[in-house]
């Protein structure tokens, strides 16, 4: 899986969760994960999570670290498994820094404050996952925690690179694990 940290700020509005967005914008073809920082504002009209639409819960963060991954040849159930794997990797990396995190499905919580948003969906050609981690918590519509503001992670780029590399390595290791066993 290819990885890339996008240096310029990108405002995540939900429309980026589309087939070939990574390829069209960053010329990375095939399975990939990219990360970027920027404001996040997903209006109900761009919302993929129908439950959030029903509950009238748009997403907003003044400054968020976003991950978008597109993966081919994967069904929706496996895509959700991969989304949960990504959340577990983020949790592990935060806990390695001494930060206690509770994962509930695809949500990461710091005490009673929400750190993340995440969704997995299927396009006509691929699985798409967006995961966002607040960098700052002020202005969020819910009680929120931020990587920088509450957790003291100042080098968000390094953290993002670690997450992407660990995710890519884990998926590669899973493929290799499948090749070393004999059928019974």
Phi/psi at 93 (5° precision): -70, -35
What's the distance, CA 98 to chain centroid? 21
- 139 confidence band (pLDDT: 50, 70, 90): confident
Q: What is the mean pLDDT of residues 36-65?
A: 93
What's the distance, CA 38 to chain centroid? 14
pLDDT of residue 101: 97
Residue 167 has pLDDT above 90, yes or no: yes
Helix (H) or strand (E) holding 120: strand 116-122
Q: What is the mean pLDDT of residues 88-116?
A: 97
Residue 58 has pLDDT above 90, yes or no: no
> Is domain 2-179 given the CATH code 3.30.930.10 in the classification?
yes
pLDDT of residue 107: 96
Q: What is the mean pLDDT of residues 72-85?
A: 98
Q: State the Cα angle at 76 between 129 and 158, rounded to 5°.
A: 25
Residue 141 has pLDDT above 90, yes or no: no
Give the N- to C-terminal CA distance of the chain in Å, as an integer: 30
The whole model's pTM is what? 0.95
pLDDT, averaged across the chain: 96
């Amino acid at each position: 899986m290819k990885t890339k940290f996008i240096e310029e700020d990108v405002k995540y509005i939900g429309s980026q969760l589309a087939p070939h967005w990574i390829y069209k914008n960053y010329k990375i073809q095939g399975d990939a994960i990219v990360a970027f920082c920027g404001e996040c504002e997903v209006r109900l009209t761009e919302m993929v999570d129908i439950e959030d639409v029903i509950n009238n819960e748009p997403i907003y963060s003044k400054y968020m670290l976003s991950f978008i991954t597109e993966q081919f040849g994967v069904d929706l159930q496996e895509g959700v498994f991969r989304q949960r794997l990504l959340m577990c990797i983020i949790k592990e990396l935060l806990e390695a820094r001494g930060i206690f995190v509770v994962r509930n499905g695809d949500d990461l919580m710091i005490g009673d404050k929400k750190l993340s948003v995440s969704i997995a969906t299927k396009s006509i050609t691929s699985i798409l996952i967006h995961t966002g981690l607040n960098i700052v918590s002020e202005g969020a519509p819910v009680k929120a925690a931020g990587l920088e503001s509450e957790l003291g992670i100042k080098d968000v780029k390094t953290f993002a690179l670690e997450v992407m590399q660990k995710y890519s390595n884990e998926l590669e290791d899973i493929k290799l694990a499948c090749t070393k066993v004999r059928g019974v």
